[in-house]
């Protein structure tokens, strides 16, 4: 069978058995695939990964949700309730360097695909388990990003002060968990290079969320402060928020007193920078309600795009609120090359995707295999698994 691995890639030669679905697991395995690993995605007969049906929106090749996290993979359909298919799944796991799964805790153990069982025959296996709330007291709680945002405290600090709690506009907790899983896998592979032994890596959505609370989490633990919803305001920096202009709102982030002074000069109110109520950041935080109307009064003379240009020119971080498309266009204008074209097995360009964000020097060839059709590689993978492995 034809391998898609680029020999120059950092993870060339690494085989990943992907028993995950939806977002966190597939994003982690796509990251490994982007870095050169061969990823074989095991899917259920008939429907495959849940996200194959999560549309609209749909591209000409399928659900865009599925496509966002499944490029550079091979898809094999196996029915794990059938002994012959389960035997093939176990053979894949025994040949793998990495296994990623997000079954309900204990689910793969019941099928003979748990870590302890596999590690006896494949001691170098790095086995990554992803769950919603861990394998102990939270093992039976469904692990959906939206629920974790609610239970973990993120929604309590997201949204307008007088409005309802809000989720983030993307499944951010799944994405954070995917990155934590990838970090754990790469660390375990690094350790294995010297020890020869793999290990189990466990991550859960709740812990990844809490690990990302940063200053907000430490405000509670270190100072007993219970963070609250503040809309676009920052609890510790002012101005670090949206400010009204003559047309659209403008994001302004004056992270130090020098930047604040330049902001005041730019809007024609230099006296604000020396006013005792606003001269330091701590003073500005205390007098936020007095300061913001004066800043917005100065900004009312022009629109957001004009102010963005003027403020950035004098070293004040500022930006108008753009759409996703405008954000991609902006990145392209900066030369960041934010997208790649993906191709099917015949080499035809079938779509465009956000590229992996790491840039390498010397450059590595990009892997641009389109997300697989359900079972696209079943015949080849099964034939390979039925062959005797090479010593």
Average pLDDT, whole number, for the chain?
95
- 15-212+339-386: which CATH topology? Rossmann fold (3.40.50)
Residue 247: closest CA among 325, 298, 326, 304: 304
Instruction: Compare 365 and 260 and report the one with higher pLDDT.
Output: 260
CA 206 to chain centre: 15
270 contacts: CB under 8 Å, gap ≥ 6: 261, 264
Q: What is the pLDDT of residue 388?
A: 74
Using the predicted structure, report yes or no on whether residue 3 has a pLDDT greater than 80: no
Q: For residues 25 and 70, what is the distance between their CA atoms, to the nearest angstrom?
A: 10
Active-site choice (174, 180, 248, 265): 174
Residue that has been written with the tokens 């062959």 in this structure: 387
pLDDT (average), residues 113-132: 98
Share of the chain above pLDDT 90, in %: 94
∠ CA 275-277-278, rounded to 5°: 70
- 240-330: which CATH topology? formyl-coa transferase, domain 3 (3.30.1540)
Q: Which SS3 state, helix, strand or coil, does residue 39 take?
A: strand
65 contacts: CB under 8 Å, gap ≥ 6: 51, 54, 55
Kindly report, residue by residue over 202-260, the tens digit of the pLDDT: 999 999 999 999 999 999 999 999 999 999 999 999 999 999 999 999 999 999 999 99
283 contacts: CB under 8 Å, gap ≥ 6: 276, 277
135 contacts: CB under 8 Å, gap ≥ 6: 105, 106, 129, 202
pLDDT (average), residues 25-31: 98
Residue 318: closest CA among 310, 308, 326, 327: 308
Using the predicted structure, report yes or no on whether residue 6 has a pLDDT greater than 80: no
Q: Model's pTM, two decimal places? A: 0.92
> pLDDT band at residue 164, thresholds of 50, 70 and 90?
very high
Half-sphere exposure of 92 (CA within 13 A, CB side): 30
CB 384 within 8 A of CB 76: no
Kindly list the distances between the CA atom of residue 205 and the CA atoms of 208, 304, 376, in Å, as whole numbers in the listed order.
5, 37, 31
Strands across the sheet containing 15-19: 73-77, 38-43, 15-19, 98-101, 126-131, 200-204
Give kind and range of the element (H or E) at residue 42: strand 38-43
Using the predicted structure, report yes or no on whether residue 155 has a pLDDT greater than 70: yes
The 8 Å CB, 24+ separation contacts for 340-349 are 340/366, 340/368, 341/368, 342/71, 342/368, 342/369, 342/370, 342/371, 343/368, 343/369, 343/370, 344/61, 344/370, 345/369, 345/376
Q: What is the pLDDT of residue 8?
A: 78
Q: For residues 55 and 48, what is the distance between their CA atoms, to the nearest angstrom?
A: 14
Residue 85: closest CA among 117, 129, 50, 43: 43
Give kind and range of the element (H or E) at residue 291: helix 288-299
Kindly report, residue by residue over 368-385, the tens digit of the pLDDT: 999 999 999 999 999 999
Residue 212: closest CA among 168, 256, 255: 168
> pLDDT band at residue 365, thresholds of 50, 70 and 90?
confident
Q: What is the pLDDT of residue 5?
A: 52
Q: What is the pLDDT of residue 390?
A: 57
Q: What residue segments make up the domains of the chain, in order of their start?
A: 15-212+339-386, 240-330
Kindly report, residue by residue over 278-331, the tens digit of the pLDDT: 999 999 999 999 999 999 999 999 999 999 999 999 999 999 999 999 999 999
pLDDT (average), residues 109-120: 97
Kindly report, residue by residue over 326-353, the tens digit of the pLDDT: 999 999 999 999 999 999 999 999 999 9
SS (H, E, C) 86-136: HHHHHHHHHHCCEEEECCCCCCCHHHCCCHHHHHHHCCCCEEEEEECCCCC
∠ CA 188-172-102, rounded to 5°: 50
pLDDT (average), residues 88-112: 97
Q: For residues 115 and 170, what is the distance between their CA atoms, to the nearest angstrom?
A: 32
The region of weakest confidence among 272-276, 343-347, 360-364 is 360-364
Using the predicted structure, report yes or no on whether residue 125 has a pLDDT greater than 50: yes
Using the predicted structure, report yes or no on whether residue 7 has a pLDDT greater than 60: no
The reply to whether 174 belongs to the active site is yes
Classify residue 319 by burial, with Cβ atoms within 10 Å: 0-12, 13-18, 19+: middle
Tell me which DSSP letter residue 369 carries: B
């Amino acid at each position: 069978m034809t391998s898609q691995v680029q020999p120059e890639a950092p993870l060339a030669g690494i085989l990943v058995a992907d028993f995950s679905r939806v977002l966190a697991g597939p994003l982690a395995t796509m990251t490994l695939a982007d870095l050169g690993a061969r990823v074989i995605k095991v899917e259920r007969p008939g429907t495959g990964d849940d996200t194959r049906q999560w549309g609209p929106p749909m591209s000409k090749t399928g659900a865009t949700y599925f496509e966002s996290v499944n490029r550079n993979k091979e898809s094999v359909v196996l029915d794990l309730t059938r002994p012959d298919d389960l035997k093939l799944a176990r053979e894949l796991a025994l040949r793998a360097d990495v296994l990623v799964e997000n079954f309900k805790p204990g689910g793969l153990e019941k099928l003979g695909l748990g870590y302890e069982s596999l590690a006896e025959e494949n001691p170098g296996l790095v086995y990554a388990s992803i769950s919603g709330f861990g394998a102990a007291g939270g093992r039976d709680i469904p692990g959906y990003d939206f629920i974790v945002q609610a239970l973990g405290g993120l929604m309590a600090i997201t949204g307008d002060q007088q409005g309802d709690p809000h989720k983030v506009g993307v499944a951010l907790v799944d994405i954070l968990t995917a990155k934590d899983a990838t970090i754990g896998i790469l660390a375990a592979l690094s350790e294995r290079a010297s020890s020869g032994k793999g290990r189990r890596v466990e991550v859960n959505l709740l812990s990844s969320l809490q690990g990302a609370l940063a200053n907000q989490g430490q405000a509670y633990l270190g100072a007993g402060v219970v963070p609250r919803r503040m809309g676009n305001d920052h609890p510790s920096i002012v101005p670090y928020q949206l400010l009204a202009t003559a047309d659209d709102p403008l994001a302004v982030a004056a992270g130090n007193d020098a930047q604040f002074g330049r902001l005041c000069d730019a809007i024609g109110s230099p006296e604000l920078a020396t006013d005792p109520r606003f001269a330091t950041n701590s003073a500005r935080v205390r007098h936020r309600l007095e300061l913001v109307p004066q800043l917005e009064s100065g900004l009312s003379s022009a629109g957001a795009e004009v102010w963005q240009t003027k403020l950035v020119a004098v070293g004040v971080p500022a930006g108008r609120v753009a759409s996703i498309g405008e954000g991609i266009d902006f990145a392209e204008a900066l030369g960041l090359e934010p997208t790649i074209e993906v191709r099917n097995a015949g080499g035809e360009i079938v779509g465009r995707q956000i590229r992996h964000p790491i840039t390498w020097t010397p450059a590595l060839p990009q892997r641009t295999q389109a997300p697989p059709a359900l079972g696209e590689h079943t015949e080849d993978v099964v034939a390979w698994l039925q062959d005797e492995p090479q010593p």
